[in-house]
Amino acid sequence: MRRVIGTGGSCRAIVAAGVIGLLGLTGCSSQPDLAEVTGDQRFAEQDYLYVVGPGDTLEIFVWGNEELTTTGIVRPDGKFTTRLVEDLDASGKTSTELARDIEKAYAEYVRSPVVSVIVNGFVGVPEQQVRVIGEASQPLSVPYRRHMTLLDLMISVGGMTEFASGNDAVLVRWNNGAQNSYGLRLDDLIKDGDISANLNLQPGDIVIIPESWF
């Protein structure tokens, strides 16, 4: 028997259905068959550099000037304030790029400053997150990490709900500026242990898990 749509967890199904509708797909068992990610791309490595995002925690270390060493969080507007310089643009930069910017700012106060930036509490920019919506136990945005697989992602979100239609799940991915949709076999992967259903993820991937109608 199909679950009655109400409030709480079932709202995730409504969100998922809405997104699938925007993609031009119908829900659950009635959706057209989608091609899976091809074999040569299934475990292709994604070469990327992590960039700082709002919510990241930064440790700013200034060699020989302990009084300037500080820790803080990148604000929602993407800016960061040190003990001498306010409103530094941090979001979208690598830790090395940000360190060089801080050195330039500190040069007005310190002779030949040497700065290191350490990133903790990774959040990242949206383009470098992987999202899971719909019938995941805990729909989340997860910071992408190199070698991250679909199985890793499902572990991060606690698997699927009992109402999920895992083999009707969809992977939305941008390739060279074009949006592509691929079929996933999450039931086969999680319930049957079929590793052939696993694949490497890429920054910006979205996994949509629809609700089963039965």
Pick the CATH number of 57-120 from 3.30.70.360, 3.40.50.150, 3.30.1950.10, 3.40.47.10: 3.30.1950.10
Burial of 45 (0-12, 13-18, 19+ CB in 10 A): exposed
Q: Report pLDDT digits (tens) over 158-183.
A: 999 999 999 999 999 988 788 999 99
Return the structure tokens found at 64: 């020989």
Beta bridge partners of 115: 62
pLDDT for residue 52 is more than 70 = yes
Query: In the chain, which residues fall in CATH 3.10.560.10?
Result: 8-47+126-209
Model confidence at 214: pLDDT above 70: no
All CATH 3.30.1950.10 domain ranges of the chain, comma separated, are 57-120
**Higher-confidence position of 185 and 25:** 185
The superfamily in CATH containing domain 8-47+126-209 is: Outer membrane lipoprotein wza domain like (3.10.560.10)
Model's pTM, two decimal places? 0.77
Place of tokens 């679909």: 150
pLDDT value at 71 more than 90: yes
Q: Hey, what long-range contacts does 126-129 have (CB within 8 A, 24 or more apart)? A: 126/53, 126/204, 127/203, 127/204, 128/48, 128/50, 128/51, 128/53, 128/203, 128/204, 129/203, 129/204
Contacts of 58 (CB under 8 A, 6+ apart): 52, 71, 72, 73, 74, 80, 90, 95, 98, 117, 118, 119, 120
